């Protein structure tokens, strides 16, 4: 019986009982009869009982209209009985209702137990996850510090760092191997991230036990002083460093690939730690790969198999060239079994007859016909070509063609890099009392020198450069290894410290270190270059502000990516300066003949497998603009005049090969930044 029917039946019984009570009492008793009837109506309410029907559908234990005792209930109609049809239905429902209550209670108990269990598990997992996160946060800086110590050669703190890394990584792996973490990987949405954390912890522990601890044991105690002191490199110690890193490189590479395979986390809380771990491992992997590549050839390059001689070239960024600057000063550096001997800087040699310097046909067309440089005859112009290995080969050819001894390679530095070295070793003082140090070397060599009388400029430049190089070589063993490593790394990445080796295997090792200065030849990792050359014959490029901007890519239908590139060359001089303030050696000869402008040749190079389109130049004067091919790359070249306080703007579209990574930008390094 439904609740609605039960209420209806009860209400009818109450009405009948109230009606009979009103007729069986006297008039004087009417009020009391009504009251008694109301009392009966309140207390007489049928309750469902268990009833078993017989074959006729009658309830056993009584006929219709009778109570369970067999007597007819007064005031109740005999054609209605809550214990017959409707009553049976309610009674039967009551039986199942009790049974359902018991089942529901059982289910609720199970659910409650599950909720409690899940709550406890969730709390325990939360605590475990917080512990792992704390360990990971502490591990990243420790691993970064260890990596820098390992790759820089400063191993004094390796052992202590290794012990910290071992403790943190072991704790992480132990936590993430628990059943709680296994169960958490099954949770929708975040399960994959939980798996990533477990794999990251496993990779960290493997890296600790297979790389960090062995490296600390083998290299602990090696310092910069044990590598270099008294002008001599200890080849055996250097070899130990390289061999150890080379031996461990496969394990480092394996860990880096495991972390790279984790992909992008869905949870924001995991994106940062995974990203940092990936970056740290990639950096260590790159350094270890470079060390492994250079290890077999390094002893020979340091004179272990006989003396080596290298041509050191100082590139002057005030008279800009594609690879950095005018190679106006040169000196010899000899290494014999690690012992370093420096010669004196001297001015670049005299010109050859036009067409004498052995450029390739492509090089001749681009740097001579289009850019209109003097690279076919002037030793100071050969690095108008943007490839440093080719420029170094031409420098070597010029040196030897002048009657000098054969050299085994070329090392190029600029005053900005020299200044950074002096900031580590301390400054020098010239014969005239000028102090040159880590705060002013670039300005002295690239600008202040040219305020001297003309016949004093080259001697002063070579004196400063020689003093600085000797200071660096004499004190290199006493400087911070980490600081020196960072300085060298910055110099290489900025194109201010470049190396060319004549031996093919040794040049491959230099390429692995990233110090070769080659134009982009890898279509999968595209780099677009913008190179410039001073055509004015001046030292005006100290005042050149050069900037670039590369847009976000547009993905084309064929899978290639296109980028909008903008390069600006701003002449920061004023007409007043050019006419009345700057020395003639800075402005160049007869500046009025070209409206006191910077005359600058340019070369925009597409990445390997890419193209340059929609090339446009906005400048005071645009000359000799043309498209060509150089080293297999698409290029646009020419030269412009940039008046005082004016800007030349270059805009073009670079399209990279399908499947290539994001485009990078490379520009000729200038003497200073205006940003």
Q: 177 with 61, same domain? A: no
Q: Which of 183-192, 364-373, 665-674 has the lowest mean pLDDT?
A: 183-192
Q: What is the mean pLDDT of residues 592-620?
A: 98
Residues 533 and 483 in one domain: no
Per-residue pLDDT tens digits for 225-248: 788 888 899 998 888 888 888 888
Q: Is residue 673 part of a domain?
A: no
Q: Is residue 215 part of a domain?
A: yes
Same domain, 268 and 315: no
Query: Do 376 and 368 contact (CB within 8 A), yes or no?
Result: yes
Residues 48 and 74 in one domain: yes
pLDDT at 118 (0 to 100):
42
Q: What is the pLDDT of residue 523?
A: 97
- In this structure, is residue 260 part of a structural domain? yes
Shared domain for 535 and 446, answered yes or no, is no
Band of the pLDDT at 252, cuts 50, 70, 90?
confident
Q: Do 548 and 579 sit in the same domain of this protein?
A: yes
Share of the chain above pLDDT 70, in %: 78
DSSP secondary structure of 106-175: HHHHHHHHHHHHHHHHHHHHHHHHHHHHHHHHHHHHHHHHHHHHHHHT--TTHHHHHHHHHHHHHHHHHH
Report how far residue 535's alpha carbon sits from residue 179's, in angstroms, rounded to the nearest whole number.
72
pLDDT (0 to 100) of residue 173: 80
Q: For the chain, what percent of residues have pLDDT higher than 90?
A: 52
* pLDDT reported for residue 54: 43
State the pLDDT at residue 53: 42
SS3 for 33-49 is HHHHHHHHHHHCCCCCC
Angle at the Cα of 465 (from 318 to 307), degrees rounded to 5? Answer: 120
Inside any domain, residue 565 = yes
* In-domain check, residue 558: yes
Total number of domains constituting the chain: 4
* 495 and 383 within one domain: yes
Q: What is the DSSP string of 349-362?
A: -----TT-S---HH
CATH number at residue 456: 3.40.630
pLDDT at res. 104? 58
Q: Average pLDDT of 624-651?
A: 98
**16 closest CA partner among 78, 77, 84, 79:** 77
> Picking from 265-279, 333-347, 477-491, which range would have the lowest pLDDT averaged per residue?
265-279
Question: Same domain, yes or no, for 490 and 387?
Answer: yes
* Residue-level pLDDT at 26: 44
The string of pLDDT tens digits covering residues 113-150 is 444 444 444 555 566 667 777 777 787 788 777 777 76
Which of 156-160, 235-239, 434-438, 454-458 is the most confident on average? 434-438
Determine, yes or no, domain membership for 476: yes
* CA nearest neighbour of 534 among 580, 605, 599: 599
Residues 254 and 187 in one domain: yes
Tokens of 306: 């006989």
pLDDT tens for residues 70-104?
444 444 444 444 334 444 444 444 555 555 556 65
Whether residue 487 sits in one domain with residue 439? yes
Mean pLDDT of 56-61: 42
Within a domain: 355: yes
Average pLDDT, stretch 301-323?
97
Q: Are residues 480 and 563 in the same domain?
A: no
> Average pLDDT, stretch 484-495?
94
| pLDDT of the residue at 289 | 84
355 and 496, same structural domain? yes
Q: What is the mean pLDDT of residues 527-544?
A: 98
Instruction: Give me the mean pLDDT over the 365-376 stretch.
Output: 97
pLDDT category, 22, cuts 50, 70, 90? very low
The answer, yes or no, to whether residue 634 has pLDDT greater than 80, is yes
Residue 292 confidence class, pLDDT cut points 50, 70, 90: confident
β-sheet bridge partners, residue 653 = 564, 613
In a domain, 99, yes or no: no
Which of 58, 83, 108 is where one domain is finished? 83
Q: Name which residue leads in pLDDT, 571 or 291.
A: 571
Confidence of residue 269 (pLDDT cuts 50, 70, 90): low
Q: Which of 509, 528, 546 is the last residue of a domain?
A: 509
| Cα 378-384-389 angle, rounded to 5 deg | 100
Enter the tokens of residue 324: 């950095």
Range of the domain at 644: 519-667
Of 474, 509, 544, at which residue does a domain stop? 509
First and final CA of the chain: distance in angstroms? 88
Q: Which residue has the higher pLDDT, 366 or 168?
A: 366
Q: What is the spatial distance between Cα 223 and Cα 212, in angstroms, rounded to a whole number? A: 18
């Amino acid at each position: 019986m439904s609740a609605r029917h039960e209420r209806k039946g009860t209400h009818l019984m109450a009405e009948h009982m109230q009606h009979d009570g009103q007729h069986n009492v006297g008039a004087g008793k009417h009020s009391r009869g009504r009251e008694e009837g109301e009392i009966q109506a309140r207390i007489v309410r049928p309750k469902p009982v268990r009833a078993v029907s017989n074959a006729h559908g009658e309830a056993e234990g009584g006929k219709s209209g009778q109570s369970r005792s067999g007597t007819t209930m007064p005031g109740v109609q005999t054609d209605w009985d809550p214990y017959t049809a409707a009553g049976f239905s309610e009674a039967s429902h009551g039986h199942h209702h009790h049974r359902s209550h018991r089942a529901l209670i059982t289910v609720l108990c199970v659910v409650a137990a599950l909720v409690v269990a899940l709550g406890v598990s969730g709390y325990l997992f939360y605590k475990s996850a917080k512990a792992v996160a704390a360990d990971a946060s502490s591990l990243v800086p420790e691993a970064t510090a260890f990596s820098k110590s390992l790759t820089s050669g400063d191993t004094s703190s390796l052992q202590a760092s290794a012990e910290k890394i071992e403790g943190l990584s072991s704790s992480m792996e132990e936590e993430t191997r628990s059943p709680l973490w296994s169960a958490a990987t099954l949770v929708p949405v975040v399960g994959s991230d939980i798996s990533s954390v477990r794999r990251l912890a496993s990779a960290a522990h493997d890296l600790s036990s297979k790389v960090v601890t062995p490296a600390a044991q083998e290299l602990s105690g090696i310092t910069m002083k044990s590598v270099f002191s008294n002008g001599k490199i200890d080849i055996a110690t250097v070899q130990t460093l390289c061999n150890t890193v080379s031996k461990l490189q496969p394990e480092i590479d394996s860990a880096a690939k495991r972390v790279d395979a984790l992909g992008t986390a869905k949870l924001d809380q995991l994106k940062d730690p995974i990203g940092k771990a990936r970056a740290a491992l990639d950096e260590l992997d790159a350094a270890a790969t470079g060390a492994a590549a250079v290890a077999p050839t390094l002893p020979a390059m340091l004179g272990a198999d006989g003396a080596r001689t290298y041509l050191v070239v100082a590139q002057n960024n005030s008279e800009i060239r594609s690879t950095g600057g005018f190679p106006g000063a040169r000196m010899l550096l000899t290494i014999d079994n690690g012992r370093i001997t420096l010669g004196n800087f001297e001015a670049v040699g005299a010109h050859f007859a036009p067409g004498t310097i052995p450029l390739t046909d492509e090089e001749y067309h681009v740097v001579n016909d289009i850019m209109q440089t003097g690279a076919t005859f002037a030793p100071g112009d050969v690095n108008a070509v943007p490839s440093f290995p080719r420029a170094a080969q031409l420098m070597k050819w010029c040196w030897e063609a002048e009657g000098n001894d054969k050299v085994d390679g070329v090392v190029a530095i600029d005053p900005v890099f020299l200044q950074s070295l002096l900031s580590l070793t301390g400054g020098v003082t010239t014969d005239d009392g000028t102090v040159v140090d880590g705060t002013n070397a670039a300005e002295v060599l690239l600008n202040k020198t040219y305020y001297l009388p003309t016949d004093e400029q080259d001697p002063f430049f070579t004196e400063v450069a020689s003093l600085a190089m000797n200071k660096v070589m004499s004190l290199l063993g006493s400087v911070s290894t980490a600081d020196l490593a960072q300085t060298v790394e910055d110099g290489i990445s900025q194109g201010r410290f470049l190396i060319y080796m004549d031996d093919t295997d040794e040049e491959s090792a230099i390429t692995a270190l990233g110090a070769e200065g080659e134009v982009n030849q890898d279509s999968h990792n595209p780099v677009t270059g913008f190179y410039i050359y001073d055509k004015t014959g001046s030292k005006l490029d100290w005042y050149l502000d050069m900037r670039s901007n590369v847009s976000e890519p547009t993905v084309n239908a064929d899978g290639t990516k296109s980028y909008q590139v903008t390069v600006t060359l701003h002449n920061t001089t004023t007409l007043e300066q050019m006419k009345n303030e700057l020395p003639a050696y800075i402005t160049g000869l007869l500046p009025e003949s070209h409206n006191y402008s910077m005359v600058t040749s340019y070369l925009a190079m597409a990445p390997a497998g890419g193209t340059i389109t929609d090339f446009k130049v906005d400048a005071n004067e645009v000359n000799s603009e043309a498209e060509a091919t150089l080293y297999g790359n698409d290029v646009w070249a020419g030269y412009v005049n940039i008046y005082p306080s004016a800007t030349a703007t270059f805009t073009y579209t670079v399209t990279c090969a399908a499947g290539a990574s994001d485009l990078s930008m490379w520009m000729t390094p200038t003497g200073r930044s205006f940003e």
